[in-house]
Amino acid sequence: MKAGKHFTQEQKLTILESAKEVGVKGAAELAGIHYTTVYDWRKKFEALGEKNFLTNITKSRGRGTKKISEEQEKAILDSWKLHPGFGPGQIRNQLRRQGVSISSRTVRKIMVANGYKGRQKKRGRKECHRFEASRPLELVQMDILEFVVNKLKVYLLLLQDDHSRFFVGWRLASETSIDLVIRVVQESINRYGKMEEILSDRGFVFYSWRGGNRFEKYLESERIDHTHARAHYPQTLGKIESTNKQIQKKLLRRQRFESTGEAEQAIGKWVNVYNYERTHQGLGGFLVPADRFQGRVDEVERCIARQLDPTAQNCYHIDGISRSLLNVTLEPDGGLKLHLFGHPITTLRGA
């Protein structure tokens, strides 16, 4: 890009004064610069005051003001509109995945000029030890989220793969039950293959203080390990707890649903976007959960390096996709059991 125009502090002040009359974008157009530059000057003026602003001379002319194209601005704002909870870095990653290379600084300038406030870091938070499963279906986190649809309390059951953050199952219901949980887990197994371990809290549908309930007995019969989060320690379920906050912030608090059917349709759409379209910071910033879950990381990274949209190059078949026909679990005696569509077919044992 060509270097932009240079202005004296007096000229900048004149442009800021004109912005009071014709607006920031109008003043920027008259001066032949991008409106984000005027916002930057106004921010500095408000911080320094008029006297210090006029005497604030930069030591180096640098490269001037970079020109931001209309295509870049549109790409940034369109992506931000699609992902309103994203920060500049996440929007940059989302665009980078689509083969559009724009600096984080440019993304931030556009977003700030259009109302982005940024997030304040909370102080005094304790460090949490992070853990992550080493492969898909090694560990699945499970939780139930309560919310209200038109005065009716409903329950959203979520199953999320720990390694990839991919949703392997979900269900919206007007009441919780052990039968519901078993059914959703079985549907997940039939579609994607058998998980080796499930991590849940100690809710009554997951856990019984008086011995194993029917859900725990079901997992035992399926040879699926069941781990319970430590009481009063939600960090153990950190990934799915974070997802709960995301779905509340970006969907449930933004839309009003007239019926559970309407809510179910919206949640299904949100889950598909989360699985297949939304880049995830926990996956390096450029990957979506389906990339990891389906073993496409290398392919996707090659596409990104060549500035190709990996989704456009090899589209996901969202409605009919299965992760794998075959998966392997480790048996308690050390043998390896093969599963076809989640059903055991043979056990391999060492000599």
Q: What is the pLDDT of residue 128?
A: 46
CATH number of 140-276: 3.30.420.10
pLDDT greater than 60 at residue 1: no
List the beta strands (DSSP E) in 105-204.
140-149, 152-161, 167-173, 197-200
- Spatial distance between the Cα atoms of 221 and 103, rounded to a whole number of angstroms: 53
Q: How confident is the model at residue 237 (pLDDT cuts 50, 70, 90)?
A: low
What pTM does this model have?
Answer: 0.58
Residue linked to tokens 């295509």: 71
Q: If pLDDT is split at 50, 70 and 90, which confidence band does 330 have? A: low
With a pLDDT cut of 70, the percent of the chain lying above it is 74
The Cα 237–Cα 249 span in angstroms is: 18
φ, ψ (nearest 5 deg) of residue 146: -95, 140
Q: What is the mean pLDDT of residues 180-188?
A: 92
Average pLDDT score over residue span 48-58: 72
Indicate the domain borders of the chain.
1-67, 69-115+291-320, 140-276
Dig out the tokens for 293 from the structure: 């879950």
Binning pLDDT at 50, 70 and 90, where does residue 317 land?
A: very low
